[in-house]
Amino acid sequence: MSSNTTLTVDNKAVELAVKEGTIGPSVVDISKLYAQTGMFTYDPGFTSTASCESKITYIDGDQGVLLYRGYPIDQLAEHGDFLETCYLLLYGELPTAAQKADFDYRVTRHTMVHDQMNRFFTGFRRDAHPMAIMVACVGALSAFYHDSTDISDPQQRMIASMRMIAKMPTLAAMAYKYSIGQPFVYPQNDLDYTSNFLRMCFAVPCEDYKVNPVLSRALDRIFILHADHEQNASTSTVRLAGSSGANPFACIAAGIACLWGPAHGGANEAALKMLEEIGTPDRIPEFIARAKDKNDPFRLMGFGHRVYKNYDPRAKIMQKTTHEVLNELGIKDDPLLDVAMELEQIALKDDYFIEKKLYPNIDFYSGITLKAMGFPTSMFTVLFALARTVGWIAQWSEMIEDPSQRIGRPRQLYTGPTERNYVTVAQRG
């Protein structure tokens, strides 16, 4: 269904089409506005702008709802597994048993990386941030897999997608192993996706490694929770990079670079550092006061979200997962968890946070969980990137397959100098 709305510009009425989605806010189609009025719209940070039409993920930030292809995130996290979620995001429907077996097999066949990639790693300093390595290595995949960079070929697009979903855990584990000076562990394809990843991270050649099924299930759930989140900064980056026709490996590398920022994927690392800095519950009021102080740039990391103005539905599942992992590992008195629980309670009752609708987001708990599993903080955003790769690919594919797709080219409100003449250095005062 569609309708129109009227905008009056300089006393001239302009008819604009209103498009309706299946759920969520309608949009005013302003694509002809410039042609009709000579004006652009202005929306820094895109708080009111839909950049595309999408059928993949729906968020209702006020109600705390997150749906992948219509399925609530809590149901998928409770009953599904990550590869099933990947299938759902990519193809739009949950797989049948046969489709799932085939998909798992196809992903598994691509887990190894070209052996020459090993040399690529050794070019880095051992103390390089693993996100820097991931940006480089994922971008470099396009130099290794020339046979899947033609974006006009659906078969090549599919192979590139499989390759990235399958190789991301291998690359992430290699980045980790390199940073701690241990040998790379090759994938073992009879393990499920997440168990294989845990093994590649934590096994050493001199000992047997048994995957802990509770930790594997918990990490799989964390991957499900992070798999997609509609048009966030990194996904929009992937779409924008892809709109120029760049190859999929380059586009995902761009997404990883964007995800690295502390306001986005770097927040779980920042949240854990903040909890460590707070140290003990008695210091919480001091940090709450700093977060509220307009003259102090400090923010409570892991709180607030551009879209969720209610409890982040992923944070609820994450909180439960945190407790499962800590119980399994026998961590009864974790000082960071004590600080986290107390901080959450204090912030949820504080007028500042209530008025601004600042609730804990997923990153608030994921850091504690990943740390308990044995991952260093520098790997947290890497795990986020691993999980989000499927979302980026699904969104990128949707864009490529959209016949109305054009290169993304935002406009601007120019406030710089007007035209002026060049003056030579000698003549400048």
Residue whose CB is less far from ligand ACO, 250 or 301:
301
Marked catalytic residue, from 305, 350, 351, 402: 305
Within residues 80-99, the interface with ligand ACO by CB under 6 A covers none
CA distance 298 to 293: 8
**Does 100 sit near ligand ACO (CB under 6 A)?**
no
* Binding region for ligand ACO (CB under 6 A) out of 60-68, 89-97, 359-367, 413-421: 359-367
| Per-residue binding letters, 24-53, with ligand ACO (x by CB under 6 A) | ------------------------------
CB of residue 194 to ligand ACO, shortest distance in Å: 20
Residue nearest to ligand ACO (CB): 304
CB of residue 148 to ligand ACO, shortest distance in Å: 29
For residue 363, indicate whether it is catalytic.
yes
Tokens representing residue 235 in the block: 């996904």
| Per-residue binding letters, 361-380, with ligand ACO (x by CB under 6 A) | xxx-----------------
Residue whose CB is less far from ligand ACO, 104 or 363:
363
For residue 305, indicate whether it is catalytic.
yes
Marked catalytic residue, from 81, 220, 228, 363: 363
Decide if 221 contacts 321 (C-beta within 8 A).
yes
**Does 358 sit near ligand ACO (CB under 6 A)?**
yes
Decide if 368 contacts 340 (C-beta within 8 A).
yes
Residue whose CB is less far from ligand ACO, 251 or 385:
385
Instruction: Tell me the site size for ligand ACO, rule CB under 6 A.
Output: 18
Nearest Cα residue to 58 out of 20, 22, 94, 27: 22
| Per-residue binding letters, 225-264, with ligand ACO (x by CB under 6 A) | --------------------------------------xx
CA distance 12 to 37: 9
Residue whose CB is less far from ligand ACO, 23 or 263:
263
CA distance 396 to 137: 19
CB of residue 282 to ligand ACO, shortest distance in Å: 20
Name which position in 125, 146, 356, 411 contacts ligand ACO (CB under 6 A). 356
- CA terminus-to-terminus distance, the chain: 63
* Binding region for ligand ACO (CB under 6 A) out of 51-59, 295-303, 336-344, 398-406: 295-303
**Does 73 sit near ligand ACO (CB under 6 A)?**
no
CB of residue 280 to ligand ACO, shortest distance in Å: 20
CB of residue 384 to ligand ACO, shortest distance in Å: 7
CB of residue 323 to ligand ACO, shortest distance in Å: 20
Residue whose CB is less far from ligand ACO, 117 or 288:
288
Tell me the three-class secondary structure of the chain, residue by residue.
CEEEEEEEECCEEEEEEEECCCCCCCEECCCCHHHHHCCCCCCHHHCCCCCCCCCCEEEECCCCEEEECCEEHHHHHHHCCHHHHHHHHHHCCCCCHHHHHHHHHHHHCCCCCCCCHHHHHHCCCCCCCHHHHHHHHHHHHHHHCHHHCCCCCHHHHHHHHHHHHHHHHHHHHHHHHHHHCCCCCCCCCCCCHHHHHHHHHHCCCCCCCCCCHHHHHHHHHHHHHHCCCCCCHHHHHHHHHHHCCCCHHHHHHHHHHHHCCCCCCCHHHHHHHHHHHHCCHHHHHHHHHHHHCCCCCCCCCCECCCCCCCCCHHHHHHHHHHHHHHHHCCCCCCHHHHHHHHHHHHHHHCHHHHHCCCCECHHHHHHHHHHHHCCCHHHHHHHHHHHHHHHHHHHHHHHHHCCCCCCCCCCCCCCCCCCCCCCCHHHCC
CB of residue 301 to ligand ACO, shortest distance in Å: 5
Within residues 296-325, the interface with ligand ACO by CB under 6 A covers 299-306
Residue whose CB is less far from ligand ACO, 139 or 302:
302
CB of residue 316 to ligand ACO, shortest distance in Å: 14
Q: Which residues are part of the catalytic machinery?
A: 305, 363
Q: Which residues bind ligand ACO (CB under 6 A)?
A: 263-265, 267, 291, 299-306, 356, 358, 361-363
